[in-house]
Amino acid sequence: MKTDLEEIIDQVLIDEESLNKRIKKLANQVNEYYEDKNELVLVGILKGSIMFMAQLAKSIKINCTLEFMDVSSYEDGTESSGNVKIIKDLDTDISGKEVLIVEDIIDTGRTLDALRHSLIKRGANSVKIITLLDKPERRVIEIKPDWTGFKIPNEFVVGYGLDYQQKYRNLPFIGVLKREVYE
């Protein structure tokens, strides 16, 4: 069943060209920051970060490995509890390595803060955060990403990895979902 985008998307918040340009700039900043470091591990948070991480990794010019974690802190399904449950863990040891958490969006900050502390306890040299989208209005835990693609308003967004009920991740842009779709 094909869905007409006009029925679900209120507006395109960030178009594909803007995403590509910004991610390229972020990759250049990452390259510069880590140029003299060893053992960079990109840790993508599934499933939302996959498109951002793939695009970012293509422009990283230093040696790095790609890892993924699937974590959940939504015990009741609507609000993050901050109690992180690891569904899929890292496949490699990160002790002594530089870790860059690759996130699609930072909302309350609860899950990301708990995850960052967990990775630090595992012996990483450093744990930095890069996010495609940041919603500072929703922040409950004081956490600041090291690199941010775009600060966005408190809207329900989909596309470029972000979903609603596992749909719309494949959109090549970030769009605001119409309220009637999710309410």
12 neighbors 174 (Cβ within 8 angstroms)? yes
Measured CA to CA, the distance from residue 78 to residue 153 in angstroms comes to 19
Q: Is 107 in the active site?
A: yes
| Residue in 36, 104, 107, 163 annotated catalytic | 107
Q: At what angle do helices 16-34 and 50-58 cross, to 10 degrees?
A: 60
Distance of alpha carbon 81 from the chain centroid: 18
Catalytic residues: 107
